[in-house]
Amino acid sequence: MKIAIIGAGNMGGSIARGLAKGSIVSAADITVADPSNERLGELLKEFPAIQTTTVNQNAVTNADLILFAVKPWLMKQVVRELKLKSKQILVSIAAGIAFEELAHYVAEPEMTMFRLVPNTAISELASMTLIASRNATPGQEQLLVDIFNEMGLSMLVPEEKIAATTALTSCGIAYVLKYIQAAMQAGIEMGIYPKDAMKMVAQSVKGAAELILNNDTHPSVEIDKVCTPGGITIKGINELEHSGYTSAIIHAMKASK
């Protein structure tokens, strides 16, 4: 399979690197287009086999799958300038652009399309990536899931759930980072060096995530294991609730929808 990526910025570059590290697509079958030779050069230093170009059409002509990693306000212009074929698969990571709108940008409105919502952890091959499809076969859907499972974890969702699930994943990663930052500040106040506090909290967050992802369990079950009667953890949990912790998270997620 030949893949073209339009855009070598933070997200496009991370996806190109993830694909090249994976087992499904050969680096030689990836072509990245970007107007910046500097960005393309950085990519080639890491993966010399990747093909690069500053001309978008050169990247897409022979591609089976075309991934657009450009800003939403550029999508219409970028897509309409290209000559696409009905058999090609269009993948967009442009937030807020629905399939119905994308279909107006192409000459073949019934072509297979995917909307993709990764988060910034894709640079560490640890993204939670949401995938919605239009006119796709089960095999094509599975291909996208398999590709992005190699860059973390991916999940198929209906397009109408994109906004809500984006709040949980793409926006949600910022809220997790905000917790890490706040816990760090508490550690510093208690006399722990900032870098040490950051590592301690980050590893604790990672461990909590692994407990959920690797076991048939629930956050409440794991919290109960830590909260011994009369212990220090339950005091902290109750203080969080007194301060509106759960409500604040729910409000933040709903505000991001």
Average pLDDT over residues 170-180: 97
Average pLDDT over residues 219-229: 97
Predicted confidence band of residue 63 (pLDDT cuts 50, 70, 90): very high
Predicted confidence band of residue 51 (pLDDT cuts 50, 70, 90): very high
Number of Cβ within a 10 Å radius of residue 159: 14
Please give the CATH architecture assigned to the domain spanning 172-256: Orthogonal Bundle (1.10)
Report in angstroms the alpha-carbon separations of 130 from 15, 18, 94, 153.
14, 16, 13, 9
Residues of CATH 3.40.50.720 domain(s) within the chain?
Answer: 3-159
Q: Express as a percent the part of the chain with pLDDT over 70.
A: 100
Average pLDDT over residues 156-169: 97
pLDDT(122) > 90: yes
pLDDT(257) > 90: no
| Model pLDDT for residues 2-13, shown as the tens digit of each residue | 999 999 999 999
Residues of CATH 1.10.3730.10 domain(s) within the chain?
Answer: 172-256
Rg (CA), the chain: 21
Instruction: List, in order, residues 6 or more apart from 71 with CB less than 8 Å away.
Output: 94
How high does pLDDT run on average in the chain? Answer: 96
| Model pLDDT for residues 136-153, shown as the tens digit of each residue | 999 999 999 999 999 999
| Tokens 């949980």, residue located | 168
In the prediction, which pLDDT does 235 show? 97
CATH 3.40.50.720 holds for 3-159: yes
| Model pLDDT for residues 84-101, shown as the tens digit of each residue | 999 999 999 999 999 999
| Model pLDDT for residues 238-256, shown as the tens digit of each residue | 999 999 999 999 999 999 9
